[in-house]
Amino acid sequence: MSSDKALTGKHALVTGGGRGIGAAIVSALLMHGARVTLLGRNAEVLAKTVQEHKASGELDYVTADITSSASVATAFARAVERFGRIDILVNNAGQASSAPFAKTDEALWQQMLSVNLTGTFHCTQAALPAMLEAGWGRIVNVVSTAGLTGYSYVAAYCAAKHGVIGLTRALALELATKGITVNAVCPGYTETDIVSQAVANIVAKTQRSEDQARAELAARNPQKRLVQPDEVANAVAWLCLPGSAAMNGQALAVAGGEVM
């Protein structure tokens, strides 16, 4: 990705910013000149990522449980105190758990909804008032192709991610004349911890080798490979640029053609 510093003076907050896709998004936004706040639950992981990127620009971290509106409000207040109002919100934090639908208990169902959908709701509500006051903002929800299609054995996850797509589209229309865009980026199977867990589950349940399990996931992508975190980050950063103002209410699949 080329650096044009088009986001100089903008403050971006990235949830789940400590590793994987989130850390790649942090790097991409810094490259474009934004000040970046990482938000997550593990201070040690966040601090390490900040240390690794400190030469690239201004960044800091805050800790929060995104399923708690009070925790989110406290963290966002600290972020604003450090870097000013939040101009860009990237809702990247999420969790994935698998189970046959008949064995999906209420605890798993609620966990998937709380982290993936309600967490996005809490963070968006916390960031939106300042964007409305400024008349400018970018909200990008990192979802999944599971928000666009169905996958077996992850009914709760699919339901939550479909909910985020619905929220994205509804809010995009509500804010269309306010200078704020709301979009989603939907990665296919990506080289992240979540995929590593999926591989481990396949190995444990089917006795396939790790290479066979990874190949099974990669086979869903017409390019026959796993998506890389930087590829997702490039799409997110592009949606945040001033020149992407006409992109609104979209759900971009970054999946090698898996979903069209």
Q: pLDDT tens digit string along 67-77? A: 999 999 999 99
**Average per-residue pLDDT in the chain?**
94
Cβ neighbours around 196 below 10 Å, total: 13
165 and 198: one domain?
A: no
The reply to whether 57 falls in a domain is yes
166 and 147: one domain?
A: yes
189 labelled catalytic: no
Q: How confident is the model at residue 201 (pLDDT cuts 50, 70, 90)?
A: confident
Through-space distance between the first and last CA atoms of the chain, rounded to whole angstroms = 24
Q: Is the pLDDT at 176 greater than 60, yes or no? A: yes
The CATH number of residue 154's host domain is 3.40.50.720
152 and 57: one domain?
A: yes
Q: Is the pLDDT at 1 greater than 60, yes or no? A: no
The reply to whether 3 falls in a domain is no
Q: In what order do the strands lie in the sheet with 11-15?
A: 59-63, 35-40, 11-15, 88-91, 137-142, 180-187, 251-254
**What is the distance between the alpha carbons of residues 220 and 216, in angstroms, rounded to a whole number?**
7
The reply to whether 56 falls in a domain is yes
Residue span of the structural domain in which 202 resides: 189-226
Q: How confident is the model at residue 222 (pLDDT cuts 50, 70, 90)?
A: very high
Three-state SS across 108-176? HHHHHHHHHHHHHHHHHHHHHHHHHHHCCEEEEEECCHHHCCCCCCEHHHHHHHHHHHHHHHHHHHHCC
The reply to whether 258 falls in a domain is no
What residue type is 155 in one-letter code?
A
**pLDDT score of 218:** 84
163 and 79: one domain?
A: yes
86 and 135: one domain?
A: yes
The reply to whether 25 falls in a domain is yes
Q: How confident is the model at residue 245 (pLDDT cuts 50, 70, 90)?
A: very high
The reply to whether 138 falls in a domain is yes
Beta bridge partners of 185: 142, 252
66-121 pLDDT, tens digit per residue, is 999 999 999 999 999 999 999 999 999 999 998 999 999 999 999 999 999 999 99
33 and 149: one domain?
A: yes
The reply to whether 165 falls in a domain is yes
**What is the distance between the alpha carbons of residues 146 and 159, in angstroms, rounded to a whole number?**
8
Q: How confident is the model at residue 10 (pLDDT cuts 50, 70, 90)?
A: very high
61 and 18: one domain?
A: yes
Of these residues, 151, 153, 157, 189, which one is catalytic?
157
Q: Is the pLDDT at 202 greater than 80, yes or no? A: no
157 and 69: one domain?
A: yes
**What is the distance between the alpha carbons of residues 247 and 169, in angstroms, rounded to a whole number?**
12
Q: How confident is the model at residue 203 (pLDDT cuts 50, 70, 90)?
A: low
**pLDDT score of 3:** 58
Q: Is the pLDDT at 52 greater than 90, yes or no? A: yes
221 and 110: one domain?
A: no
The reply to whether 243 falls in a domain is yes
**pLDDT score of 22:** 97
232 and 121: one domain?
A: yes
113 and 41: one domain?
A: yes
Number of structural domains, the chain?
A: 2
